[in-house]
Amino acid sequence: MVSHRCKLVVMSALDELGVQYGPVELGKVFVARELTAEQIDQLAITLMKSGLELLDNKSAILVEKIKGIIIEMIHYSEEVPKVNFSHFISEKLSFNYTYLANLFSQTTGTTIEHYIIVQKVERIKELLLYDDVNISEISYRMDYSSPSHLSNQFKKITGLTPSYFKKLKKYRMRIALEDL
């Protein structure tokens, strides 16, 4: 689960099934007692209708925890922590980073590092579109060594420079206003 909406969908599905549950957190739900096979199947179907997936495989759950930690760090903090991501993830999950990195790559087909970069670029897009901050400020917030490093990485992922991406917003707004 990545968002508040996801948590609400899960809570609604559990309520529908009459399942007593405790806290619903990012990627996990605490249930009062073990679910029957029928309840698990029904929950999986209900969640799938909303685009969510019930994970019961330990590897898949661990990969989702890794994604959750990365998303939490990048999207829900004012500044990206200035720490070594590999050390932080390893410490948070109490697993060797090499093991986590291999598991992540085997499960998702991409590396943790690439996933982090993609998430950072998504956050940068949000900052460019919704905040009135310049590239230098974003570079500092997102813990890039320089604005040019941020720009190069952004262009590699999106095919656009950050400044061009920001200009597109203004262009889209003008078109939308003209269509009114």
The reported pTM is 0.70
Q: Does domain 58-180 have CATH number 1.10.10.60?
A: yes
In 131-161, alpha helices (H): 135-141, 147-158
Of 73, 68, 19, 76, the C-alpha closest to 43 is 19
123-156 pLDDT, tens digit each = 999 999 887 888 999 998 888 999 999 999 999 9
36-93 pLDDT, tens digit each = 888 888 888 888 888 887 776 788 889 989 999 999 889 887 767 677 889 999 999 9
Listed by start position, the domains of the chain span: 1-54, 58-180
